[in-house]
Each structure stands twice: as C-alpha cells, then as structure tokens.
Chains A and B, each alone.
Chain A
Amino acid sequence: MSLEPQTNLKTETAHALKELIVRELKLDGKDPASIDDEASLFGEGLGLDSLDALQLAMSIEEQFGVRIPEGDEARPIFRCVATLAAHIDSSRAEAAKVTAGA
C-alpha cells in the first residue's frame, strides 16, 4: 500500500468530519472548510465543551461506525480534527483487517 491513498483517505475523513461537526453541533453559518485540521476543538480553538464531545462521539459512532473510548483515553483523540480523523481511519482499518482475517 502506497502512502498516497492513505493521505486521500485521511483528507476525505477530515472533510466528512468537519461537515459532521458543523451539522451536529449546529454551528450555523460556519463553513466546514474553514475549520483547521490542527486547531483545538475545545477551549480556545473552536470553543466546544464536554457536551459537544459527547454529541460528537455519538454521531461519529453513527456515521463512521467507530467508537471513541470514554474517559481520559478520549482526550488526545478529541484534540483536533486531524487526531479524530486518524482515530476513525485507524479503527476502520483495524476493523477491516479483522473482517478480512475472519
């Protein structure tokens, strides 16, 4: 597997994730493309809070079929769009491997 498709995958996931963030957190008027992959989602950056994190975790599970761990483990995953997208992609790749192996 070359690096290129993975990068595309990551971009695709990040793009879908940004649309999900705007839709699920009702950020009316915000252009999903204006969300920086590396900007923090909570506190300073996008200004989200713990209730948003829960809504994001639920809707990511619904849309991508990927569970976000609860508690402290979730912290680094929720840092920014890039970390969330990486978690989604790696969880899906893991699941695909398991399915393929079964």
Chain B
Amino acid sequence: MQEDVRLFVTGVGLVTALASSREASWNALLRGERGIRPIDLFDTSGQRGRIGAQVQDVTVRDAPHVATAAWSRSSVMAFIAAREALAHAKLDTKKVRVGLVIGGTTGGMFENEARLAELHRNPRNEEALVELLSHPLTAACDCVTQAVGPFVRTRTLSTACSSGANALIVAAAWLRAGLCDAVVAGGSDGLCRLTLSGFNALAAIDPEPCKPFDKSRHGLNLGEGAGFVVLERAPQVRARNVEPIAELAGWALGSEAHHITNPEPSGATPARVMQAALARANMTPADIDYVNAHGTATPLNDPMESAALMTALGKEIARIPVSSSKGQIGHTLAAAGAIEAGICALVIQRQKIVPTVGLVDPDPACALNHVVGEGRAARVRAVLSNSFGFGGMDSALIFKEANLDDPPIFVDENRRVVVTGAAALTPSGLRGTEQIKELLADAPNNHDITLDFAAHLDAMRARRLDRPARIGAIVVERALAEAGGDRIEKTGAVFSSAYGALDASAAYLHRLYEKGPRLASPADFPNLVPSSPVGHVTIYLGLGGPALATADLETSGESACTQAIELIQAGEADVVVAGGIEEASAIVERRLATIYRRLSETEKETAEIPRARAEGAAVVVFEAENVAKARGSRVLAEVTACLAWREDNLHPLSTITAPKNISEARVVMPRSEDESLIALLDASLWKDVSRVACDGAGGEHEALGAIAIGAALSEIFAGSIKEALIVGLAKGRGYALRLESRC
C-alpha cells in the first residue's frame, strides 16, 4: 500500500550560546538577546576578532557515560540537542526504526588541537592517543548512537556551513524511501582555535558584535552549538498521536562551482536552489511569510543573498519579513542550518518571527523587509531557510504549518539507479572501468600515488587544489569520461574521507602555535574543511549538482556511494559521481588506524598496525535509469539493493535474495581477512558464491569500499560475472550493494 510521505517535524532540540535548551534559546531569540561575548574557551590573544557565541555551560564532563575519552564538546552538544529533540517528539528509538544524520565540520578539533600540533612536530610520537578517537567527524554519530540510540541507519556528512540543512535533506530522502520510520537530523559544531584563526585569516570576522545586512557590517562572529529535529511521515505522526510542529514541505541543494571561499556575486545558484525548494513544496513566493536568511554579516554574503532572494521570490520579497539569527547565536557552521531549521519550525508553530539583532542601518544592497529589535507575532503560513557553505554548497528548506488533514503526498516508486562508469587511482596508476578489476589481484601495493598530477591538471586552475582535491579531480574526470557523452548538466558529487585533512590540520595548528594567529594561512584554512576536496572538484570540473562529503571510518567509501544512490532515488540529482579519496597520512597510519581496527580493549594498548595503509581513491558514476536511457548512456549495471545498517541489526543481509546463477555471481569484499564479514556472508543466501577482495593490489585504506564497487562493475563490464554483492564492515556499521549486469 502506498504511504503518505508528507514529512512532519515532531521534535526540536537546540543548544546555542543563548541557552543549552530549546525553550530558553527560543525565548532569548524573541527578546533579541545576544550570546556574543569574549571567547574564553581558549587563549584568543593575537586574534583580530576575539569574540564569539560560545556555549557557556557545556563541557565534555556532561557526556552521559563514565568513559569520556571519545567525547568532544561537539559530540556533547549533539547529544544534548538530539536527546531534547527525541524527548520533544516523545519518540522511543527502541520502538520504531529511527535514523540519525549529523552534519559537522570540526568534530573534536578543540580537544585535539595541541595534540595534533605536537604530532606534526613529532609524527613518531608513540604515546597511547586514545583521546584522538574524539576527533573524527564520525565520533559525534557514534557518541549520540551510544547515548540515545539504537539507530537503524546513521550518516555523518559535511558541506561546511550548510551541513545542518543537508542533514534534513538526507533525512527526507530516507523517510520518503521508507528506510526509516523517523529520523533525528541536525548538526553540531564546537568553537576551536583552528576555525577562529582561519576565519580571522580570511578577514571574515567582525571584531565587534556582527551586524547582518547593515551598511557598516564587517563580517561574522563564530558561534557554536547544535540543532536537531525529529522528522516523521504523516501516518506515523497520526498513529503515535503526537502534535506535529511544522511540515518540512520543500528542500533543495546545489553547488555554485564558483570559488572555494567567495560566493557567486549574482546569487544565481542560491536563487535556483530556493526556486527548486519552492517547486518541491508546490508553492509560489506568495505562500512564503518569513525568511530565515543565511545572513552571516560578511561583506560578500549579505548582498549576494539579498540579490538571490529578489531573484527567487520576485516582487513578493518586499512583503516577506527576513531575518538572520546569526547576530544572536553567531555562525555555528555545521550546526547553523539545523539550528535555523529548528527555529523555523518553532516560528511556524508559535506564529512569531525572530529578529536580526545588530542591524541598525540597512545596506541599500540588502533592501529587504528586515525584522529588527525584538521578535513579534505574525501570521506565518510557510518559511524559507537558507544555508550556504564554503565551496558554494547551497541549500534551502521550506517549512509550513502542520495540518495532518491536508491532502496526502505519494511518491512514485523509487527511481532505479544504474552505473555508467568508474575510475580508480592507486599507487599502481589511474584505471578506468575496464581496468579496475586488476585491483582484485593479490599483488603488492606501494604507499604513495606517484601519478604525474601536472600532466592531468591545468596548473593555474588547479593551484588551490590540495592533494586530495587533485586526486579527486583526476579520478572524477576519468570516471565521467568513462560514463560517456558530454558532461551532464548539474552532476552531483559525494566524496568520503574517513578522517578528513588530519595532517594538514596538524601542520596548520603547529604553525598557529609557533607563529601566532596573525600568520595563520588564509589559503590553507579552507582546505581543512571536510567538504573541501569535493568543493574544489565541483569548481575545477564545473559540476553544479548536489555536493557532499561523508565519513564513516573504514566504510567511508561505501557511505559516499550509498549517499549518492539515496540522492538519485530521492530525485535530488540525476547523476552523481561518488566514492572515497584517501591521501597518505602519517597521523592516521601511525596513530588512528591502530586504535580503529575493531580491536579489543586489551589490544588497544599494544596493537601494531595490521597492514600498512596506502593512498587510494575510487569513484563510481551513478545515474537515474531514465536519465541514462534518455541521454543514451552506456548502462553497465543496475543497483538492485543498497543497504546500510548499524550493529544492532543481527541479520543485515536477510533481504538480499539469492543470486540468479551462482557461477555468474561474485562477492567483492573490501578486505579479505574480515571474520565478521565472512560470518555474515556464510549466513546469507550468497554463502556459496565465490569471494574476492581488493586489499591486495587495492591497498589498505578507507576508500576500499569504492574500489570494491568499481572492481565489481569492472568484472560485470568484462562479462565474467552477471551480478555482484559488495559488503563492507567497520566498527558498529555495515553496507551492502548489489549490482546486476545491464550490459
């Protein structure tokens, strides 16, 4: 039976500099209070701007378990806001299938900055560094799962300052596809020296409290916090008899492909994204009664956003009140889109709009209907919320009044997803679809990629691309060429990296501690954002579709491919090139990998790295079947199953039916000696199918899952098999993908 897929917000949780709870934050927002004051979380001497919206009463000691080693302030704030959202929704994660999506950028940076700087100075440091477990972006997801789970499906994503909004868009995709019954989605980000010095280096920080849309604005103030919302489909909201707060009616995302830090001045992409969100909501500008702007107060953002609002909403913009919450709670980076989504849901529920604090004399280039001073009562049928991230990753969300009795919305069957190409770049070279299967050989693998990047890239245009972005640009260009035809309009991209730019962050921090904040590098800083490689590649190759970064420990490659498939199934993109890019990293190889390899507690202290970790990258081109057919693509295979699960699922492969012909099927495993994976396969209907692994010639790194998918496709392309099952596991999570030949 078809189900009504209207999505309702049933819970909101907020941690802001105004207060560590939803109601107190909301009341302070309405009163026009500011949470911006001198930052005392760390030494800010020498920084141009030293104020920010610091959360006052949260420390890692507020973590819910005794062992706090793996908790960061980012994770604690995520936990507090997610718990509040779940409680608000009266939702028991043990009773229904709940998913968790978290956007982040800094993870446990604050807790690890001095340690990383020291590791840069002395990479041979052999101290037990279990505290580093709080650093990866995935830590928040695992901490929140441990504290308020179980969750049936989790995702860690980053698109810089639009991460929080994109978490809701991923949640919408999961709910519409029926993957979960409810999703708690949001973002969390803690203040740290790295971001404060980086935004100061970019001259983006106002040393005084910021003034969004004001003539004399001088930049943003950083903030920190977390925001989560619980989203559910209409039938469950009705069945659980809870009061919905608002309906998430529209959303859209896209990328500018313009510049790594500066927005496109015309605002053309943000305007296109807002219009797409309106179309998704089946609304016109006349239906919108309030806009919660991105409104960072930087010289470039505010006029760009004003122009984009005028383009997207036309003459209606004169009527619609607009405000930015950033004058009160600062720019909370990955949390911003989610906190503002929570605020928008409350605006709808309470029929009150919140102000832009700090705005005194509006810039004529920002001629909007500003809400100044305090909040006020207003008739609000629907609201639009904008979020824009570094690298030009733009998102818009639309919420409207919750009315369960409105007409239902049904989705057509999920779009079928096909694969049209792949490419891999490893120390043994660059390979296209036909050659990736060579990485299934049991051959030795070197440590570094030695390809001559200069021969593959335009030097001037690629000058800002760091090593992962260069690897990404080369491998994506090859894969898209493999996928045939002219470059497809608005191609999306999803890249994973398990630990992000860890070594580059350590180098940046070492310099920061040694030379002081005035000499922090504005050019290096943007490359430390987890979504920087994918951002650079969208700019270098001119890709305008959705762009995201994901991370999921050793299954990071699988998470990126799964994310791409979900975006296509949900109709957010027609073509997405996705996979993992892992650069060589002294810190990952010497420290992190040792503690992550699913080792027992006792082993943690003594274990050596089981296998040397190498560089490696692979991407796969996924397309909506109808689009691939329409453009006459060479369809190689269809994705006939795409599963993601958490450890509580004891039989994750139970829905995978038997292969049609055992002799024409193959299981492709990222890693060969994985006992839990072998046990899982032995209990499945694929138990008698031959198994191959790609950790020989493919090396050992967190993009192996993407190499495995590429290798399976390569075997199908060669005609040696008709179908393949790719299964990857890491601590507490797993993924499975089934490909069937369409050659």
Contacts and interface: CB of A to CB of B under 8 A. Distances in A.
Interface of A: 24-29, 47, 49-52, 54-55, 58, 61-62, 70
B463 A27 contact: yes
Given A51-B522, A54-B202, A58-B521, A28 B454 contact: yes
Contacts of A49: 259, 262
Interface in B489-529: 515, 518-523, 526
A61 B262 contact: no
| Closest 9 A/B residue pairs (Cβ) | A54-B522, A55-B523, A26-B463, A28-B459, A29-B459, A62-B519, A55-B522, A51-B261, A58-B519
A51 B258 CA distance: 13
Contact of A51 (B260, B459, B518): B260
B463 A58 contact: no
B469 to A, nearest CB: 12
Contacts of B454: 28-29
Contacts of B201: 54, 58
B459 A24 contact: no
Contacts of A62: 515, 519
Contacts of B415: none
A11 B520 CA distance: 28
Contacts of A50: 262
B203 interface: yes
B460 interface: yes
Interface string B518-560: 1111110010000000000000000000000000000000000
B519 A70 contact: no
A55 B262 CA distance: 14
B352 interface: no
A61 B519 CA distance: 8
Contacts of A25: 463, 523
A28 B518 contact: no
A36 B2 CA distance: 69
Nearest to B454: A28
Nearest to A29: B459
B464 interface: yes
A77 to B, nearest CB: 15
Contacts of B523: 24-25, 51-52, 54-55
A48 B297 CA distance: 24
Given A54-B201, A58-B201, A28 B522 contact: no
A54 B203 contact: yes
A6 B522 CA distance: 32
Nearest to A28: B459
Contacts of B464: 26, 51
Contacts of B260: 51
Contacts, number: 46
Contacts of A24: 523
B197 to A, nearest CB: 11
23 contacts: A24-B523, A25-B463, A27-B460, A28-B463, A29-B459, A49-B262, A51-B202, A51-B259, A51-B260, A52-B523, A54-B202, A54-B203, A54-B522, A55-B522, A55-B523, A58-B201, A58-B518, A58-B520, A58-B521, A58-B522, A61-B518, A61-B519, A62-B519
A26 B460 CA distance: 8
A58 B524 CA distance: 12
A26 B523 CA distance: 10
Interface string B351-394: 00000000000000000000000000000000000000000000
Nearest to B520: A58
Given A25-B463, A54-B523, A58-B518, 13 more contacts: A24-B523, A26-B464, A27-B460, A47-B460, A50-B262, A51-B262, A51-B523, A54-B202, A54-B203, A58-B520, A58-B521, A61-B518, A61-B519
Contacts of B261: 51
Interface residues of B, number: 20
B462 to A, nearest CB: 9
A55 to B, nearest CB: 4
B390 to A, nearest CB: 11
A51 B204 CA distance: 11
A24 B259 CA distance: 18
Interface in B231-288: 259-262
Contacts of A26: 463-464
Nearest to B523: A55
Interface in B441-491: 454, 459-460, 463-464
A95 to B, nearest CB: 16
A62 B515 CA distance: 9
A24 B261 CA distance: 17
Nearest to B204: A54
A21 to B, nearest CB: 12
A61 B46 CA distance: 14
Contacts of A27: 459-460, 463
B257 to A, nearest CB: 15
A70 B202 CA distance: 11
B288 to A, nearest CB: 33
Contacts of B522: 51, 54-55, 58
Contacts of A52: 523
Contacts of A70: 203
B128 to A, nearest CB: 36
Contacts of B515: 62
Contacts of A61: 518-519
A45 to B, nearest CB: 13
Which among B201, B260, B463, B515 has the greatest number of chain A C-beta atoms within 10 A?
B463
A62 B518 CA distance: 9
A52 B30 CA distance: 40
A5 to B, nearest CB: 30
A26 B470 CA distance: 13
A55 B463 contact: no
A54 B526 CA distance: 13
A25, A26, A29, A47: which has the most chain B beta carbons within 10 Å? A26
B519 A55 contact: no
A27 to B, nearest CB: 6
B176 to A, nearest CB: 39
Contacts of B520: 58
Contacts of B262: 49-51
A47 B461 CA distance: 10
A62 B260 CA distance: 24
Contacts of B526: 51
Contacts of B460: 27, 47
A79 to B, nearest CB: 19
A58 B521 CA distance: 7
Q: Which of B202, B459, B522 has the most CB of A within 10 A?
A: B522
Contacts of A28: 454, 459, 463
Most buried by B among A47, A50, A52, A61: A50
A52 B260 CA distance: 12
Interface in B556-615: none
A68 B518 CA distance: 12
A61 B459 CA distance: 26
